Structure 1
Amino acid sequence: MLGENEMVVLPNGNVALKAHYHPSEIKLYEDNPLIEALPPILSVEDAFEQLTHSVEYNESERELSSHYRYHALMGIARFFQPVRDHLDLQDRFSRLLRQGYVGRNPRSKSHIEVLNAFHKAIREDEKVKIPPDIRSTASSITLVGFSGIGKTTAIERVLSLYPQLIVHTDPNVIQVVYLKLNCSYDGTLKSLCMDFFVKIDNLIGTTYYEKYGNRNNSIASMVTRIGQIARLHCIGALIIDEIQHMQTSKDNGSEKMMNFFVSLVNEIGISVMMIGTMKARAILQKDFRQARRGSGHGDMVWEQMKRGEDWDILIESIWEYQWTKNYTELTEEIKDTIYEESQGITDIAVKLFALAQGRAIRTELERLTPKLISTVAKEELRLVQPMINALRSGMISNIEKYEDIIPMDIESYLNNKMPELDMRAKIQAKKEELAQKRNALTPSLLQSAVVSLGSLNYDLKKAEKVVITLLKELTDPSPKELLMQAIEVLDHKESMNSNRYSVMKASKENINELQKVIEEGKNLKISAYEILKQKGFIPSPLVEFSLQEVRS
């Protein structure tokens, strides 16, 4: 963590850390402001704690509506649990950065001599000639591995331990601790140089791209300017990601790029870290490895995690973040299932955990099972199944066909599913609204129908039972429709005497009149019972008797 240090706002609005120096316990690093302004060197325990990135989570969120919980799931994509490879990376980068600064003390005479050498080369349009007595202490690291293994995420977590910009007053300089670039898809050196100028301008408010980044400028002139700028702004480490793209470059483009990196390390004195997928191995095994054989930092190759302690730490750490209504205990069977379906690719494992929860929420299963996890893996991760099967086979010939496991954008996937989930929530809300309206309407329909039937000399108990049954069977019946249906049912069930039939005949003729009276009552906000009583359809003694029957 960067702590509560004083910050400085640059003219372009970016924020930099004001230099505060920590006396070094290592003689090699003493009196070098670029090193002593960096955060303290971390122990393994401190590195583990500071690299960990937990997810904002509260168990009470499991009781939220499904669409809220679906949003919360996106937090899993930002989860980071360090394992041994990450701690190793942090330690190597810490040494790479500091040792690169050993030979670049801005208070030393050699620092001025190198800057003068760059100025002379640019003025006379010739290759930079560093004084022979100035030795570079820079070195390099390469990190290659399957896509989805977490290389980029890991280095970004490591970089988060350092301020990117530090403002010094003695000497007066803005130190750029690190600069991260992505190798362009065309894999050309010119594109990388242009990206360098843009990134520096965005950081410290310079106009290098406008001055030196024009496509009409030669690559040689751009490279010289980069060396000058890197020295002037004390860039500690240059991180180049996606270096496998160099394979797509034409006219020996990858060789030119590698020569540029060698020059940065050996001549200009800038430490370099290169990151790429397994496809980058062929490039790295050329002359760049030979040029930095004595660096001491070596190469890092990250393959899929093995089923063991690191895997258990990862799964056990993330398992607490459950948003299903029912919490699922982590079992060995579930661990085995996640490993089987991800084959130790951490990106797939973490996202499979999120996707399985999304499916459980969406289908209202609301719990995680090995069967659900396997189903989601096969249905939602179809694109990576050929690669997973290759890893599962363990055969190198199969794995080499799919060296770049395709990473999955979990947030995009969940966002795509969000309209479906939101629509389900809207439909459910609409159903609840209609149910409430029906519940509010049903008592008045029941009451008006029973009262009307009572006024037609039907037995109130029988009439109430018939009307209740019809309300369950009919979909939103009108009062008239309900009354007519009830009369038909009651007539069918009872054998009426001739007097009753004569009454019914007359009553049917008066149904429209009764309906008009009831509608009039509605307009006046008077109940059917009250309006029928006012209009003389229900005598007072019968009213009291009818109400008692309806309530019973």
Structure 2
Amino acid sequence: MNDQLEMGLSNAQVAKYHQQELPDFQGNPLIGALPPIFSLEEAFDELSYHPDYDEKERMLSPHLRYHAIPRLQRFFQPVMQHLDLEQRFSRLLRYGYVGRNPLSPGYTRQLNEAHQVMKGQAQAVPYDIRSTASSFTLMGFSGIGKTTAIERILSLYPQLIIHKHPINLTQIVWLKLNCPHDGSLKSLCMDFFLKIDRLLGTNYYDRFGSKRNSISSMVTRMGQIARLHCIGALIIDEIQHLLTAKDSGSEKMMNFFVTLVNEIGIPVMMIGTMRARSVLQQDFRQARRGSGQGDMVWQQMKKGDDWDVLVESMWEYQWIENRVELTRDLNETLYDQSQGIVDIAVKLFALSQGRAIETEAETITPAMIRKVASDDLKLVQPMLKALKSGLPSEIEKYEDIMPMDIEEYLQYRSHNIDIKATIQKKKEKRAEERQKQQSSVLEKVILALIGLDMDANLSEKAATNVLKRFPDSSQAELMQKALTYIEEQQKPKIKKKATIPNHLQNLINQGKKKKRSAYESLLDSNYIKNPLDEFVI
């Protein structure tokens, strides 16, 4: 059965078990099949995503460059808050599996007991289930990059892992759902069944997700399926939509999340804007349950290292003809017009390039950034002005950007890494690799030319010359250019024709006036002999 399942799941991978150093994780195949735990430096490398870019693209026609600019939407430069989120999610996922080891004697019993609890037929809850799962909440301003960050982190993990004999199960490592726009728990359950069916090819939606099923029935089946398929973590995005729920819908959904964590053992991560705090802080009990890994609150980025790292990395992607160096004035203008909101900063940079191409200015200036912000980001201007004012009375008008009145929420002092230094090292490493690659290409071109019976010194000279002039050319192109260079060097030097002395030309010109040929003119002047004179006896 697993072989058939494996063939039908293109996004699944067969379990490869890694040795676990921590005793909490040893002997648990659900944890052993996960990727190794990343250090901060490893997480930085894994999370970074810099789309392909070639300087030559700046010389393409305007309509092609317009289509290249949206590539910036895929750009992702991790900063310290992203690395912190990766570590918290890693802990959430792994510790959620500690109490759910399919090799343990009590695993089947735990499944049955949890199912009875969900049906309301039992009171006891297995201690080792609820003691390991936890939850945490990520709140932040709209556009700060919460969803993008968690999706980058989820991409580090396979979503499905197939465990063969003797376990014989398909592990769902993570499942991400969006909270329905109306805050309906029933809609959330239906979406859950649909997502599971798409992943596994099952028919849970047809069996349990129709509208005729009650919410309590759906919730029961949802919890049972989550346990049965070993869901590692459930991520609920846009949690602020619970504010629109009717008839105590938000309270029902929050209670359901609590049940998943405490009684079924499924970790839950909730993501939302600042509006979500009114839901999560309805009472201390719910707020505490959303803080198993500690709350994360992402407000606007402040000027400093993280902001500079982001802008400097993003600034490499330019499709305007006149490359613009990042100055302090440009950096501060971009911050002032975006107020540290990452999504707005990226859009401003992209839109400014589009404006530069459109107007044929082919450059970016602080004035252009301000003009683009005024013309193309009109809808968010009131929120940005509120943030810029710093006045609580203005900021309170927009719940999505309402700062949390809490102490500094990100403490990196004890496990910080110098991101600027890390990026500089990566640049130096890329430059070193490029130099090694060029040296290798140079050697190959020289050897190929010598193999064509070319002179060794001339081959080296030709290869060095063309590689210096055309560093981005392929090896085949360099060979062609080197052969052309050698051919030009080996052409025989054509001697210039001897010029006729001026006085002889004068004699010829004078003869022309007398209607005499050049021969007759030179013969009369005794510069040449009459051939017949040689035969006179």
Work out which of the residue numbers 258, 275, 281 in structure 2 matches 1:285.
281
Q: Are 1:14 and 1:204, in contact at CA under 8 Å, matched by a contact in 2?
A: no
Whole-Å separation in 2 of the counterparts to 1:363 and 1:270: 55
CA displacement at 1:401 relative to structure 2: 1.4
Which residue identity is paired with 2:145?
A: G
Which residue identity is paired with 1:165?
A: L
CA displacement at 1:128 relative to structure 2: 5.6
Whole-Å separation in 2 of the counterparts to 1:154 and 1:340: 23
Whole-Å separation in 1 of the counterparts to 2:285 and 2:303: 31
TM-score, normalised to structure 1, is: 0.70
Structure-2 residue corresponding to 1:148: 143
Whole-Å separation in 1 of the counterparts to 2:325 and 2:305: 19
Identity across matched positions, percent: 64
Q: Secondary structure at the match of 2:35?
A: coil
Structure-1 residue corresponding to 2:190: 194
| Residue 367, structure 1, aligned to residue 348, structure 2 | no
CA displacement at 1:181 relative to structure 2: 0.2
Structure-1 residue corresponding to 2:271: 275
Matched residue count: 398
Whole-Å separation in 2 of the counterparts to 1:394 and 1:243: 26
| Residue 159, structure 1, aligned to residue 154, structure 2 | yes
Structure-2 residue corresponding to 1:376: 372
Q: Secondary structure at the match of 2:81?
A: helix
Whole-Å separation in 2 of the counterparts to 1:287 and 1:130: 25
Work out which of the residue numbers 25, 30, 37 in structure 2 matches 1:29.
25
Structure-2 residue corresponding to 1:110: 106
Which residue identity is paired with 1:242?
A: E
Q: Are 2:330 and 2:366, in contact at CA under 8 Å, matched by a contact in 1?
A: yes
Structure-2 residue corresponding to 1:56: 52
Q: Secondary structure at the match of 1:404?
A: helix
Structure-2 residue corresponding to 1:178: 174
CA displacement at 1:157 relative to structure 2: 0.4
Q: Are 2:6 and 2:162, in contact at CA under 8 Å, matched by a contact in 1?
A: no
Check 1:133–1:373 CA distance in 2 against 1; reply closer, same or farther (3 A cut). closer
Check 1:328–1:294 CA distance in 2 against 1; reply closer, same or farther (3 A cut). closer
| Residue 332, structure 1, aligned to residue 332, structure 2 | no
1:331-385 Cα distance to aligned partner (Å, 9 max, x none): 0000000000000000000110000000000111101100001100010000000
| Residue 45, structure 1, aligned to residue 41, structure 2 | yes
Q: Are 1:139 and 1:292, in contact at CA under 8 Å, matched by a contact in 2?
A: no
CA displacement at 1:267 relative to structure 2: 0.6
Q: Secondary structure at the match of 1:390?
A: helix
Whole-Å separation in 2 of the counterparts to 1:56 and 1:317: 13
Which residue identity is paired with 2:386?
A: A
Q: Are 1:185 and 1:245, in contact at CA under 8 Å, matched by a contact in 2?
A: yes
Q: Secondary structure at the match of 1:401?
A: coil
| Residue 86, structure 1, aligned to residue 85, structure 2 | no
Q: Secondary structure at the match of 1:90?
A: helix
Work out which of the residue numbers 215, 227, 231 in structure 2 matches 1:231.
227
| Residue 243, structure 1, aligned to residue 235, structure 2 | no
Check 1:34–1:362 CA distance in 2 against 1; reply closer, same or farther (3 A cut). same
**Unaligned runs of at least 5 residues, structure 2:** 402-537
1:122-166 Cα distance to aligned partner (Å, 9 max, x none): 8xx545655444442100110011110000000000001100000
CA displacement at 1:394 relative to structure 2: 0.7
Check 1:294–1:149 CA distance in 2 against 1; reply closer, same or farther (3 A cut). closer
Pick the structure with greater CA Rg: 1
Check 1:133–1:352 CA distance in 2 against 1; reply closer, same or farther (3 A cut). closer
CA displacement at 1:295 relative to structure 2: 5.8
Q: Secondary structure at the match of 2:380?
A: helix
Check 1:45–1:75 CA distance in 2 against 1; reply closer, same or farther (3 A cut). same
Whole-Å separation in 1 of the counterparts to 2:274 and 2:95: 28
Which residue identity is paired with 1:156?
A: E
CA displacement at 1:121 relative to structure 2: 6.3
Check 1:164–1:203 CA distance in 2 against 1; reply closer, same or farther (3 A cut). same
Check 1:289–1:373 CA distance in 2 against 1; reply closer, same or farther (3 A cut). farther
Whole-Å separation in 2 of the counterparts to 1:142 and 1:293: 9
Whole-Å separation in 2 of the counterparts to 1:291 and 1:339: 33
Check 1:374–1:133 CA distance in 2 against 1; reply closer, same or farther (3 A cut). closer
Which residue identity is paired with 1:154?
A: A
CA displacement at 1:276 relative to structure 2: 0.3
Whole-Å separation in 2 of the counterparts to 1:329 and 1:128: 67
Work out which of the residue numbers 393, 397, 403 in structure 2 matches 1:397.
393
Check 1:390–1:289 CA distance in 2 against 1; reply closer, same or farther (3 A cut). farther
1:42-96 Cα distance to aligned partner (Å, 9 max, x none): 0000000110010211000000000100000010011100001100000000000
Check 1:378–1:177 CA distance in 2 against 1; reply closer, same or farther (3 A cut). same
Q: Secondary structure at the match of 2:37?
A: coil
Which residue identity is paired with 2:63?
A: H
Whole-Å separation in 2 of the counterparts to 1:342 and 1:87: 23
Q: Secondary structure at the match of 2:360?
A: coil
1:68-83 matches, cutoff 5 A = 68-83=64-79
Whole-Å separation in 2 of the counterparts to 1:35 and 1:48: 22
TM-score, normalised to structure 2, is: 0.72
Q: Secondary structure at the match of 2:363?
A: coil
1:433-488 Cα distance to aligned partner (Å, 9 max, x none): xxxxxxxxxxxxxxxxxxxxxxxxxxxxxxxxxxxxxxxxxxxxxxxxxxxxxxxx
CA displacement at 1:292 relative to structure 2: 4.1
Whole-Å separation in 2 of the counterparts to 1:356 and 1:147: 22
Please provide the CA RMSD for this pair.
Answer: 1.9
| Residue 258, structure 1, aligned to residue 244, structure 2 | no
